[in-house]
Structures are given as structure tokens and as C-alpha cells.
Amino acid sequence: MQKSNKVWIIDDDRSIRWVLEKALQGANIETRVFDSGDSALSQLNRDIPDAIISDIRMPGTDGLTLLSNLHNTHPHIPIIIMTAHSDLDSAVAAYQGGAFEYLPKPFDVDDAVAVTQRALAHAQEQKSEQAPESTPETNTEIIGEAPAMQEVFRAIGRLSQSNITVLINGQSGTGKELVARALHRHSPRRNGPFIALNMAAIPKDLMESELFGHEKGAFTGAAAQRQGRFEQANGGSLFLDEIGDMPAETQTRLLRVLADGEFYRVGGHTPVKVDVRIIAATHQNLEHLVAENRFREDLFHRLNVIRIHIPKLANRREDIPKLARFFLHKAATELNVDTKVLLPETEEFFCSLQWPGNVRQLENTCRWITVMASGREVHIEDLPPELLDHKETSTPADDWEKALRHWADQALARGQHQLLSEAVPTFERALIETALKYTAGRKRDAANLLGWGRNTLTRKLKDLGMAGGQDIEGDDDN
């Protein structure tokens, strides 16, 4: 039933051929040995192996020349390159030539067998593929099936006929600019310009010129009149990212523009009128900045007309597999290589990580995998070392149960009674708050996640003295 796996071992060193042959045969892998690249090439006219292990330096046709020939004539045969000269140039040359893996001598025999098995699995997978794997839709604007992301989609849909100001909240890397672009694309201003400006990336002394432009001679180096981003966005949308980093004096000018629809260029005396929709975004808590007098309260209320919260990736774990497939396909297309595929256990490991860098970190990881993972199938050990370093030694369930037991022990030691009367409300409150946060305040969805009916959740909120969740346009479940 299972196809036989044939591996060719090519090395002018007889002892290496013998060790590899015995080790692979011990793993039930059929082998054939050659003492030169030329003898192996001549045999290709009569037989084709499933994988090849070849030394680099041999008399006659060397390993890199052999690799180049085989990559052109039999590109689907995975080739493992061995060398005792394990320097950078050899490694780079091997991978650039299309090697499946690079094995420096002396090598551990078990490692050599494991690499060979992976090469055979890769070859078998390519043989058994009857059609290319369906690729993710590249025209998808934002990927997300989690309840919190569905709420973002609802918001974009509700605002599609509006020019109203929007404030987007979310951690760095969650995709705030993607949401801003989607808001613009699905708005009456879709045919106008979309101009994006990151407040955190502009020196404070250049920010006003960047936003409002300047007149010729307004300052040293202003050799000509220049339009600012407001003028460039006229008739369209201006996306102000990291609005919380805007300095106080620029906040004052922005407030006037929002109120009057006009401004003066730096060094100018003639008002410029514009029709611009503002979409702002921040990873900071603007309410806290207002309380600390670091952000104008009147500007905050001007911007905070409609607010959309983008969940962090750890709160939308069900989206991670689809996002990973999308980013792996995207990276493979950009780099013109085969698309990598996460094995089920690797995908599960991805879903268990915290992803502090959110979607941006996931995308960068997929790009790293596309370049660095040797086989088409991605094993956990193929992942970047920094991800493996964060592999959790205990599950979250272990942690909270341990903490609960510790609390109960301490409470009883203090002579406390009726523990459930204190623990149960606290437990329920934590789960309710988490569920409402996960569903962006939608009580019906939160009730489903908790396994309750909506009326039960409403009653619990009242009993616990908790404020109810709400939507962008109010909770339609009330």
C-alpha cells in the first residue's frame, strides 16, 4: 500500500556511505550508494530516487554542480547536501541551488535519518498532489471570523453610507490602517484620495507643515509652496494614526480645522478650505491622556464620534489558522517559491501563543518560515527560536485552578467561612466581563459563549451590579 522510499547516497567517502546506508535501512528506507556525482547522474536515465543525500566536494561532478543539474531536470527531488566544510559560503550556495536541507559533517546519525524522512514526506506529498491547494482569496480586505472581528465588519457596514468621524482603538499590529482603508473604500468618498499619516513617525517641529503645508519662505529650506496632507486628502479621507502622539499645539490647530473646515498653511495668511473625513487611530487610552492633560478633551470628543475597537490577536485565536495560510501564500507569491503548509500540531501551537505583536508579528513569522523552513510542511521545530522560547510549560487552566486553590487555602487558614458566596460572584463577573470584551459588548453573543440564555445574562448583570454591553449603535438585544 505504501510506496517504497528510495534514497540515493552520493559520497566519495566509503565510511560515510556505509554509516548512512545502515542507518537509513534501519529506518526501513531503501538505499542505493554512489561514489561520485557522475555515476549517479548516469543512473538517472534508468531510475529516479525519492530523495538524494550528496556530499559537496567529490572528484568529477561536485555536489553543487549535481544540485544545479538535478534542480533543472528533476526539481521535485529533495536533495540534502552534506559537507565537512560547513562555512557560510557553502550553506548559502547549497540553499541558493535549491537544496532541501544542509547537513554539516560530522552529523548525528539520528538527525540525518530525521531529515531524510522529512525529505521523503515532502517528496511523497508532491507526488500525491492531484491539484494545487486552494489558496486564500487575495482580494480579502480583512480576515476575521471571530465574534469581535464580526463586530468590526458590522461597524464598517453600518458606516458605509456615512462621512462621520471614526476613532479606531487597538494594540500595535492589530490592523488599524486596514480598517481605516476599508472604512474609506466602503464610504461615499471611495473615489476620493485616502491619505495616511503616522503621528508617531513625524518630528514635532515638522508636524504642522506635514499636516497643513507651508508657504514659500515660511522657514529655512521652504523653497516652494507645499500642500499638506489635509489639502491632499480634500474630497477623501485623512487617516491620522497614533493620534495620541500629536503635540498640544498641533491638537489645537486640528481642533480648529475640524470645527471650521479651514486652516492656514505654515507662514500663510489666506485660509484654505477643505472637505476631509477624519479617521483617527491609537493604541493608547485617550481617556487617560485627557485625564492627565496630555490630550485636549474637546478634541477627544470631536474625534470620538464613533469608536471601533480592534481586538488583539490573542482574543481572536480562531482566526489564526486562516491568517497564517493567507500570509504564507502571500509570502510565497512575493518570493516566488512554493507555499509552506503548517502541520496540524504546528497550527495548534500557533493558536496557543500570545502574539504580543499581533497580526503584524504573525505575518512576519510566516515570512520567516517561507524563507527558513526547509520542507513544504512546517513542523514546530521549524519555527523561529523566539517562538519556541515562549512555549508554555503549563496551561492557563492549570494556572487559574492553582491560584483558586491557593486562595481557598489562604481564606480557610484565616478562618473565613462561606467561601462560595465570595468566589462564585467573582468567578461569574470575570467570565462575563471577558465574554463581553470578546464580543465587543454584544450581550447575545456573550450569552452564547457562556452557555446562557440572553435573559440569564441580563439578570446576572443586574444581580452583580455590572453595566451591560453595548454596540456602536446600542445593543439591539435590549
To the question of domain 160-215+226-309 being in CATH 3.40.1410.10, the answer is no
pLDDT at residue 129, rounded to an integer? 52
- Distance (Å, rounded) from C-alpha 166 to C-alpha 274? 18
Burial classification of residue 128, based on how many CB atoms lie within 10 Å of its CB (0-12 exposed, 13-18 middle, 19 or more buried): exposed
Amino acid at 196: A
Rounded to the nearest 10°, the torsion over CA 23, 29, 35, 41 is: -160
DSSP H stretches of helix in 307-378: 320-335, 344-352, 358-372
Of the candidates 93, 114, 95, the one whose C-alpha atom is nearest the C-alpha of residue 24 is 114
Give domain 6-124's CATH number out of 3.40.50.2300, 3.30.530.20, 3.65.10.10, 1.10.10.10.
3.40.50.2300
Q: What is the DSSP secondary-structure string of 51-74?
A: EEEEESS-SSS-HHHHHHHHHHH-
pLDDT at residue 276, rounded to an integer? 93
pLDDT at residue 300, rounded to an integer? 94
Please count the CA atoms within 13 angstroms of the CA of 230 that sit on its side-chain side: 24
Of the candidates 445, 146, 439, the one whose C-alpha atom is nearest the C-alpha of residue 319 is 146
- Cβ contact 251:207 at 8 Å: no
What pLDDT, in 10s, does the model give residues 113-167?
988 988 888 887 766 554 344 444 444 468 888 888 888 888 888 898 889 999 9
Amino acid at 115: V
Three cell numbers, residue 321: 489558522
Which 8-state DSSP code applies to residue 309?
Answer: E
Burial classification of residue 334, based on how many CB atoms lie within 10 Å of its CB (0-12 exposed, 13-18 middle, 19 or more buried): exposed
- Cβ contact 63:37 at 8 Å: yes
Taken as a whole, the chain contains a residue count of: 478
- Percent helix, strand and coil across the chain, each rounded to 5? 50, 10, 40
Q: Which CATH superfamily is 400-464 part of? A: Homeodomain-like (1.10.10.60)
pLDDT at residue 408, rounded to an integer? 80
Cell numbers 481572536: residue: 316
Say if 6-124 and 160-215+226-309 have the same CATH topology.
yes
- Domain coordinates in residue numbering, the chain: 6-124, 160-215+226-309, 314-391, 400-464
pLDDT string in tens for the chain (478-residue length): 344 688 999 988 898 899 999 999 988 899 999 988 888 888 887 888 999 998 888 888 888 888 888 877 888 888 888 877 655 666 677 666 778 887 887 888 888 898 898 888 888 776 655 434 444 444 446 888 888 888 888 888 889 888 999 999 999 999 999 999 999 999 999 999 999 999 988 888 888 888 988 888 777 777 788 888 999 999 999 999 999 999 998 999 899 898 888 888 888 888 899 999 999 999 999 999 999 999 999 999 999 999 999 999 998 999 999 999 999 999 999 998 989 999 999 999 999 899 999 999 999 999 999 998 888 899 998 899 888 876 544 344 445 676 777 678 667 767 777 888 888 888 888 888 888 877 777 888 888 888 888 888 888 888 888 865 443 333 444 4
Top CATH class, 314-391:
mainly alpha
- Distance (Å, rounded) from C-alpha 458 to C-alpha 477? 10
What pLDDT, in 10s, does the model give residues 174-219?
999 999 999 999 999 999 999 999 998 888 888 888 898 888 877 7
What pTM was estimated for this model as a whole? Answer: 0.63
